[in-house]
Chains A and B, each alone.
Chain A
Amino acid sequence: MPTMTRDLLDSIAKRRSELLSLAGRFGRKDVPYADIRVEAVDAKSAYAENGMPKEAGSRRHLSVGIRVLAEAGGMRSPGYWGAILGPEEGACIGRRAAEGLAIAAERARHNAKAKAASRKRFPELGASMTSAEFAPAEACRDTVPARYKIDPVTVSEGTVAARAAEATKLALSVDKKISYAHQHLLTFRNRRLFVSSEGADLDQSFAVTQASTAAVARGKDGIQIIGDAIGHQRGWEMLDEGVTDDPLMPIPTLDSFVRNIAKEAAELSDCPQCPGSGGKETVLVTDPHYNTLLVHEIVGHPSELDRALKMETGYAGRSWFLQDAKRSQLGLQIASSKVSAYSDPTLPGLGHYKYDDEGTRARRVWIIKNGVLNELMSGRQTAAALGLRSNGSYFVTSGAMVGIIRMNNTVFAGGGDDPGKLISEVDKGYYLVGHKTPSIAESRENFRITARKVYEIKNGRLGRLYRNGGMMAASKSYLMSVDGVGSDFRMITISTCGKGLPMQLKRMANGGPTMRGRGILTGAD
């Protein structure tokens, strides 16, 4: 019910001063830091297959997350607590946060004591276990509204379900070879409060609409599956209007997007398998959509400082950018001088925010500047480990979760080359269009990423179209080989990226221009 939900989102704002005063009780010797995050969400979603609506659902909840630093045994350590609550608990959110603060503090105290004991027990290897510190940060106070024309809260589930079913009907109608199509639609609005014992007091709202489409085509030579997503921080209107007023991240209408996916699946299902380059390097021109996943995997992830500091070793992996605090690629040439890359949450798009989830004001992080590794994405704790200040990259996907370092709008910067010329200058090579599936090395030092389409380039012209091809390369040697960067920069939706435990699935925008470099062309195995 829209009215109730609006109340849910509004109700948590009324608790802002109560929560601020609760956090303000800390900042004392035994618990020197505490923060509280509260989120209210109203989401509508629908799923359809082959023209049939399958599910229309709505989800409304509150979530609370607590982080404290506590001191015991001469050490400071962190402790956390989180819960997802029913809407009826909005009135007692302060009480639940107080309970959470007590539990998180108890965990942090046990943790600090155990750290002190372990450090003493293992003099050889214990010295690196130090008191937890956060880099200093300004305590920001602000209210940031969401941007939308049609409020997701007011959209009925029936409308969402009907739209999803229509989209799959449209996909099936594009070509007889389409044997299956599915459509997932999601539109939501949320409101996030963040308060800390240092006086941070933030209230940020977001509206997001997203569509994920897949089409399966059965051609003469097998089955071809094409799936992709569009999404932006906009209201329900995005599906019918697309996004035309954001030059960096234009989004087509849902119908146009679905039609293209189905058309491509049908076209590729009759194409030959990509032969590959027999393990030899060749010239590869990659389009902005392919580079969206490339920058995500070989620049975005390794520049997340928690990975670089080995905190993700057992999960998402480490980073080839950093060996330890003294030895790293920072300040070194890791790409050709034509390559620059940055992460910028202040830009519009799915990765946009004004403040990160520990209250640090967002700013552009130049990861690679003219081929030199320049800066990694950080939060207050990870920045402190290197004696730096946070650059505002600490993010949670739910109020109840623990923040981790995440890329946001992370891209290869546009260059000055004519994208058409990047192809016409090639005597023999391949043009990789659209990203499909990645398989990336643990420290992101090499990769194999398949493309949706591979065109042969012969004497500067596009030739035969292949399916099931892609690029395999060492990340650094590919980046160093780039000799052309196009002027056709754009950002593209990455609908889901998993990290952390419990797994946090984040939406973001990645992108770049057309680029030309060298790698091994892969084909069918």
Chain B
Amino acid sequence: MKTTSQLKAFCEKALDIARSGKGVLEAEVYASDNAYRVARLCYSSHIPCNGLEEPKSVDFGGYSVRVVLAGLKGKRVGVAYESGFDLSAVAEVVGRAASNAVEDAEFSRLPRSEWGPSAVAGPSKSYAPISEAELVASGWRVVDAVLKRLTGSKDLARTAAGRRDGWASLGAIVSGDISVRHDRMALASTAFAKAVTDESFNCRAIATVMIEALDAKGSGFEVTDDISSVGTLAGTQAAANALASARGEEIPSDRYPVVLGRFAVKDLMENLVLPSVDTTAFYAGISAFMGKAGKAVAVPSLNIYDDSSGGRFAYKAGLTDEGLPVGRTDLVKNGVLTGLLASDYETRRLLASPKSKEKLGLDPEKFRQGLVPRNGFRVGDMGRRCYDSLPCPMPTNTVVEGSPDSRTSDLLKKIGNGVYIGRLWYTYAVNGLPAGDFSSTVVADSHIVKNGRIVKALKPNSVRVNDNIKTILANIAAFGRKASPVQGWYTGFVLYTPDIAVRSMRLDRVCAGMSE
């Protein structure tokens, strides 16, 4: 991997070439070098397997050149992407960017520091590369932690003893991964006095454990910046949750009061709420909250914010991929829509658009503080901080909070007779985001609640949620005390959320597995 200093030097030299191009008014060079390490868990007790299937890596690096030229009516802007760091190719890439230039009437200029304090000088921490042995060991820590917990279960031992094929026939599965994402970037622009650099590192474990013979499924999650210890916690947690969900029962179709666990809240946030609190969605007119800026979109006790600066959170960035300051954006404050995920370009065009007042529901100038571009990241085919795309608004560390907070046991008391939903899957806005309707399956970590207590596990995959996100946000009854981190299968952001009680949710019984 290139060091941030090497990337910076490359960007500076490339910018010198770009700015001297014929007719170039402004220029920007963004370079990134990225390392992705994955150890994929693949254990099954009843099917031949490798335990750890894919210890693998993908390394990729390169740069993009963006140039601004004079056009017939206004400015023209062009971009070109190139893999690798061949300085001798830069002039050709600049030429390509110039010939690609388009007359985008909504482009005003390259991002510059006018939104707050200047960008930081460089990354706060440097991370060492990961050895092959460490990568493999991290994955096996999860598998071993799960197998240890399962074989230590007296219930499972009894069940296995009563079956002809013993332990193997329990249908134990361990799935998920250890993923380590290491990104370094540098940006030099005619809009900045100096080139800037940054470095991000994200190491996480996601584990799913099943015991198919008992219809049991549990999840575990861990996020850290230390690969030497990651894995055991996620594995143990997933195994314990699977054991707790054994021999689940089904429930009839009805509306139920529910408590949503962190994996369930993540699905709702990732697929419904966050895509709706995004400048791009407002521009296109496809948010669930069109015309609601400055107005209530949820119960007054709900707060949602995104903090791209890292701080105590997992995803650490010193600046955005536009070279702009990172920080906290309040998206929903006391139930009111107060901010949107924004990049420099999206903010500028929303502020300038004659239709913005209609789209936002108020004068965009009055919403300016909610449109500060702290989330402009480049997300390419290989994920975040990639040279092969232009910046767009992306969540980083998203926090859901509410007040007053209660213990999970109090949330269960609050709903009385209902369902604890630990994990949702395949949540989609089936009638489009503006309608807010969604459908989703309850896949794991879920329980039936009677008289304020968990009495039985809910059979995984036996219930489909059919509801509306606007209704759900307006029907939040209470919040849990502890906000825990969670990350999805392929998502770049980390969500911090407590359990959340909702007064009513439509659950429809569906057939599960091969039961019908």
Residues of A within 8 A of B (CB): 1, 4, 46, 49, 52-62, 77-89, 103, 106-108, 110-111, 114-115, 118, 121-122, 124-130, 132, 156-158, 161, 165, 179-180, 182, 216, 218, 222-225, 279, 309-315, 317, 320, 323-325, 329, 385, 398, 400-402, 436-443, 445-446, 448, 450, 467-468, 470, 472, 474, 476-477, 498, 501-503, 505, 522, 524-525
* Contacts of B18-70 to chain A: CB distance below 8 A: 36, 38, 40-62
Instruction: Give the residue of B99, B102, B176, B441 whose beta carbon is less than 8 angstroms from that of A442.
Output: B441
B516 touches A52 (CB 8 A): no
Instruction: Give the residue of B47, B137, B148 whose beta carbon is less than 8 angstroms from that of A310.
Output: B47
> Given that A53-B104, A442-B461 are known contacts, is A82 also in contact with B143, CB under 8 Å in the complex?
no
A314 touches B41 (CB 8 A): yes
Residue of B at shortest CB range from A67?
B56
* Contacts of B134-172 to chain A: CB distance below 8 A: 135-137, 140, 143-144, 147-148, 150-151, 160, 166-168, 171-172
Decide if B127 is an interface residue (CB 8 Å cutoff): no
B58 touches A225 (CB 8 A): no
Decide if B208 is an interface residue (CB 8 Å cutoff): yes
Residue of B at shortest CB range from A84?
B60
Cα separation A84 to B34 with both chains bound (whole Å): 10
Residues of B within 8 A of A (CB): 36, 38, 40-62, 78-86, 88-89, 92, 96, 99-106, 132-133, 135-137, 140, 143-144, 147-148, 150-151, 160, 166-168, 171-173, 175-177, 179, 206-208, 210, 212, 253, 283-286, 290, 381-383, 388, 390, 425-435, 437-441, 443, 460-461, 464, 466-468, 489-490, 506, 508, 510-514, 516
> Given that A60-B82, A85-B84, A107-B136 are known contacts, is A501 also in contact with B516, CB under 8 Å in the complex?
no
Instruction: Give the residue of B38, B102, B150 whose beta carbon is less than 8 angstroms from that of A502.
Output: B38
B434 touches A222 (CB 8 A): yes
> Given that A445-B461, A445-B511 are known contacts, is A128 also in contact with B46, CB under 8 Å in the complex?
yes
B514 touches A323 (CB 8 A): yes
Instruction: Give the residue of A88, A439, A477 whose beta carbon is less than 8 angstroms from that of B86.
Output: A88
A114 touches B441 (CB 8 A): no
B59 touches A84 (CB 8 A): yes
- Contacts between chains A and B (CB distance < 8 A), count: 337
Which B residues lie within 8 Å of A111 (CB)?
50, 52, 55, 136
B167 touches A103 (CB 8 A): no
A312 touches B102 (CB 8 A): no
11 sampled A-B residue pairs with Cβ under 8 A: A55-B390, A83-B60, A86-B62, A110-B137, A114-B137, A156-B99, A310-B173, A323-B212, A437-B428, A501-B177, A502-B58
A225 touches B212 (CB 8 A): no
> Given that A58-B100, A110-B132, A130-B48 are known contacts, is A448 also in contact with B513, CB under 8 Å in the complex?
no
Which B residues lie within 8 Å of A62 (CB)?
83
Which B residues lie within 8 Å of A311 (CB)?
42, 49, 53, 175
Which A residues lie within 8 Å of B79 (CB)?
55-57
> Given that A309-B44, A325-B46 are known contacts, is A80 also in contact with B57, CB under 8 Å in the complex?
yes
B466 touches A129 (CB 8 A): no
Residue of A at shortest CB range from B95?
A1
Cα separation A450 to B54 with both chains bound (whole Å): 35
B435 touches A222 (CB 8 A): yes
Instruction: Give the residue of A106, A446, A450, A476 whose beta carbon is less than 8 angstroms from that of B430.
Output: A450
Cα separation A477 to B515 with both chains bound (whole Å): 12
A132 touches B50 (CB 8 A): yes
The 6 closest A-B pairs by CB, nearest first: A86-B84, A314-B175, A314-B208, A80-B56, A53-B102, A313-B175
Residue of A at shortest CB range from B144?
A118
Which A residues lie within 8 Å of B206 (CB)?
314
Cα separation A60 to B106 with both chains bound (whole Å): 28
Cα separation A60 to B78 with both chains bound (whole Å): 16
Q: How far apart are B473's CB and chain A's nearest CB, in angstroms?
A: 14
Cα separation A436 to B433 with both chains bound (whole Å): 12
A88 touches B431 (CB 8 A): no
Instruction: Give the residue of A130, A385, A439, A443 whose beta carbon is less than 8 angstroms from that of B513.
Output: A443
> Given that A84-B59, A222-B434, A311-B175 are known contacts, is A439 also in contact with B514, CB under 8 Å in the complex?
no
B430 touches A83 (CB 8 A): no
Cα separation A467 to B435 with both chains bound (whole Å): 11
B54 touches A402 (CB 8 A): yes
A443 touches B285 (CB 8 A): no
> Given that A182-B284, A445-B514 are known contacts, is A86 also in contact with B85, CB under 8 Å in the complex?
yes
Q: How far apart are A276's CB and chain B's nearest CB, in angstroms?
A: 10
> Given that A54-B102, A216-B284, A313-B175 are known contacts, is A525 also in contact with B49, CB under 8 Å in the complex?
no
Instruction: Give the residue of B55, B88, B427 whose beta carbon is less than 8 angstroms from that of A80.
Output: B55
Which B residues lie within 8 Å of A524 (CB)?
431, 435, 437
Cα separation A302 to B99 with both chains bound (whole Å): 46
Q: How far apart are B349's CB and chain A's nearest CB, in angstroms?
A: 10
Cα separation A440 to B173 with both chains bound (whole Å): 21
Cα separation A93 to B135 with both chains bound (whole Å): 25
Which A residues lie within 8 Å of B101 (CB)?
56
Which B residues lie within 8 Å of A400 (CB)?
58, 60
Q: How far apart are A270's CB and chain B's nearest CB, in angstroms?
A: 15
Which A residues lie within 8 Å of B443 (CB)?
442
Q: How far apart are A278's CB and chain B's nearest CB, in angstroms?
A: 12
Which A residues lie within 8 Å of B210 (CB)?
310, 313
Cα separation A54 to B343 with both chains bound (whole Å): 15
Residue of B at shortest CB range from A475?
B511
Q: How far apart are A387's CB and chain B's nearest CB, in angstroms?
A: 10
Which B residues lie within 8 Å of A55 (CB)?
79, 102, 390
Cα separation A445 to B516 with both chains bound (whole Å): 9
B83 touches A103 (CB 8 A): no
> Given that A118-B143, A446-B510, A477-B516 are known contacts, is A53 also in contact with B103, CB under 8 Å in the complex?
yes
A468 touches B431 (CB 8 A): yes
Which A residues lie within 8 Å of B286 (CB)?
180, 216, 223, 225
> Given that A83-B58, A180-B285, A314-B177 are known contacts, is A501 also in contact with B53, CB under 8 Å in the complex?
no
Q: How far apart are A324's CB and chain B's nearest CB, in angstroms?
A: 4
Which A residues lie within 8 Å of B51 (CB)?
114-115, 118, 129
B441 touches A128 (CB 8 A): no
Residue of B at shortest CB range from A56?
B100
Cα separation A126 to B50 with both chains bound (whole Å): 10
Which A residues lie within 8 Å of B84 (CB)?
61, 85-89
Q: How far apart are B313's CB and chain A's nearest CB, in angstroms?
A: 22
> Given that A107-B55, A111-B55, A128-B168 are known contacts, is A385 also in contact with B132, CB under 8 Å in the complex?
no
A476 touches B59 (CB 8 A): no
B432 touches A224 (CB 8 A): yes
> Given that A85-B84, A439-B427, A501-B40 are known contacts, is A313 also in contact with B173, CB under 8 Å in the complex?
yes
Question: Which residue, B84, B166, B429, has most C-beta atoms of chain A within 10 A?
Answer: B84
A313 touches B208 (CB 8 A): yes
Residue of A at shortest CB range from B511?
A474
Residue of A at shortest CB range from B388?
A59
Q: How far apart are B92's CB and chain A's nearest CB, in angstroms?
A: 7
Which B residues lie within 8 Å of A468 (CB)?
431-432, 435, 437
A110 touches B430 (CB 8 A): no
Which B residues lie within 8 Å of A180 (CB)?
283-286
A158 touches B99 (CB 8 A): yes
Instruction: Give the residue of B47, B83, B92, B432 whose beta carbon is less than 8 angstroms from that of A324.
Output: B47
Which B residues lie within 8 Å of A314 (CB)?
41, 175-177, 206-208, 489
Residue of B at shortest CB range from A81?
B57
A502 touches B132 (CB 8 A): no
Cα separation A161 to B100 with both chains bound (whole Å): 8
> Given that A122-B147, A223-B285, A498-B490 are known contacts, is A56 also in contact with B78, CB under 8 Å in the complex?
yes
Which A residues lie within 8 Å of B382 (CB)?
84, 502
Cα separation A230 to B100 with both chains bound (whole Å): 24
B514 touches A52 (CB 8 A): no
Q: How far apart are A123's CB and chain B's nearest CB, in angstroms?
A: 9
Q: How far apart are B337's CB and chain A's nearest CB, in angstroms?
A: 17
Residue of A at shortest CB range from B165?
A326
Instruction: Give the residue of A54, A503, A525 whose beta carbon is less than 8 angstroms from that of B466.
Output: A525
Residue of A at shortest CB range from B212?
A323
A439 touches B147 (CB 8 A): no
